[in-house]
Amino acid sequence: MPDDTEAARVRRPRMTPDREMDLLNAALDVLREVGYEGLSMDLIASRARCSKATLYRMWPGKPQLVAAALYATRPMKPEEIDTGTLRGDLLTMVELLATQAAKDTALISAMAHAVLTDEELATAVRTSLVEPWSDDLIGVVDRAVERGELASRPAAANFLPQLILSVTVTRPLLSGGLADADFLTSCVDHALLPALLHS
């Protein structure tokens, strides 16, 4: 016969996808306000109006929760983009990035420092965010191969995730402005696309 704790667990309703997104968005809202070092599961639970136990049932700890939130709320989902051409797919991706630049550039820059100093966070970000996102991005190139636009996957495809992320995040440092759609479109036409087509 199950004890009271197990019975309560069995009776507990599953979290809906919408509620899970509420928790992930709450985590990022607090992260933007206090930074990674100041972030705690207590603060996230308070903002999300849930218990810490609810958070820990979904994620082992703060690093995994943050990585999951960054992946789930990413502005572009390359696996859902298929315009019929490689250039069209790349332009769609960077346009979506540009719409989120004001909100996400500072967040990603701050996370970069935290990743360098927190190995558990670095592991969570690599496995839950960077690797799946990189696979999705390279998948855009693979679809171009399947359509016959490219004979095979070019070597430059392996650098596509780093290039897109770096030009987006470093734009304020190098030029004093955010990576808007015009800038990123120019990057696609003059850097990314030539590298993919001719490598």
At residue 2, the 3 state secondary structure works out as coil
Percentage of residues in the chain having pLDDT higher than 90: 52
**For 30-46, how does the pLDDT look when each residue is reduced to its tens digit (9 = 90+)?**
998 898 999 999 999 99
Q: Average model confidence (pLDDT) for the chain?
A: 87
- The number of residues in the chain equals 199
Q: List, in order, residues 6 or more apart from 129 with CB less than 8 Å away.
A: 67, 70, 71, 74
Average the pLDDT over each of 13-27, 91-105, 118-132 and give the range with the smallest value.
Answer: 91-105
Range 134-139, long-range pairs (CB < 8 A, 24+ positions): 134/161, 136/77, 136/78, 136/79, 137/78, 137/93, 137/161, 137/164, 139/78, 139/79
Tokens 């992320």 identify what position? 165
Tell me what pLDDT residue 13 has: 53
Q: Where are the chain's structural domains? A: 4-62, 74-198
CATH topology (fold) of 4-62: Arc Repressor Mutant, subunit A (1.10.10)
pTM (predicted TM-score): 0.74
CATH topology (fold) of 74-198: Tetracycline Repressor; domain 2 (1.10.357)
Structure-token pair, residue 154: 């070019």
**For 37-87, how does the pLDDT look when each residue is reduced to its tens digit (9 = 90+)?**
999 999 999 999 999 999 999 999 999 999 999 888 876 677 788 899 999
